[in-house]
Amino acid sequence: MKRAGALIFVLLSSEYVYMQTAADIQAKYGKPVAAYSVSEHIWMTPEYAPDGQVCRIRLYPKRISADTNYGWHDLPFNELRDVLNALVRVETRGAKKESFGATATGGNSAWTIYRYENVIFTFVSFFPMTSFDGGVLKKGEYTFPAPETEPLPTESSPSSNDFVQWKSPHTEIVTVTWNGRKCQ
């Protein structure tokens, strides 16, 4: 009887043993997504326009690396600011636009949006709630138009210190979108 049980186990698990190559995994789950380690604690996933230019990037915290398991969910602010300034140089952003640094909230989430002439930075934060749904946020799920009543910032020139930590203290995702570049 033990042999029959062992034989059944081997036959049922053969699909998992068979799926060992990269081609097998790709056939079942699709092409891998390119993620880049842009700093000690931050991953970047880019998307591209048909002409090959980056149209959007997402930054999110590393949970693991080759030899470390990280226990936090937030992006370290100073490290994030340095990464953003390296990825999108200040002189390429253009002037600040209306509602610069405005924050919108919904449910257990907050979005702080820094609009420039050429690029938009969206900081997403999640807050714990007793009926927490796991922090699921689908791409394109929320769009917040800029309020018409908010004035332009006093200083409309971009700087390397435009992002404010207190406006999004628990940032877990940052999306950078280039205006005029459509993603594929």
Q: What pTM did the predictor assign? A: 0.74
> What's the pLDDT at 150?
47
Terminal alpha carbon distance of the chain: 57
Task: Check whether 78 has a pLDDT greater than 90.
Answer: yes
17-21, 39-43, 55-59, 73-77: least confidently modelled range: 17-21
Tokens representing 141 are 């799920």
Task: Judge whether residue 147 has pLDDT over 50.
Answer: no
Instruction: Answer whether residue 153 shows pLDDT above 70.
Output: no
Q: In the chain, where are the structural domains located?
A: 1-32, 34-178
Q: Dmax over Cα atoms in the chain, in whole Å?
A: 81
- Considering the chain, what percentage of its residues have pLDDT values greater than 70? 72
Q: What DSSP string runs through 149-180?
A: TSPPPS--S--TT---GGGSTTEEEEEEEETT
Q: Categorize the per-residue pLDDT at 130 as very low, low, confident or very high, splitting at 50, 70 and 90.
A: very low
Q: What is the pLDDT of residue 43?
A: 94
pLDDT over 90 (residue 35): yes
Mean pLDDT of the region 133-146: 51
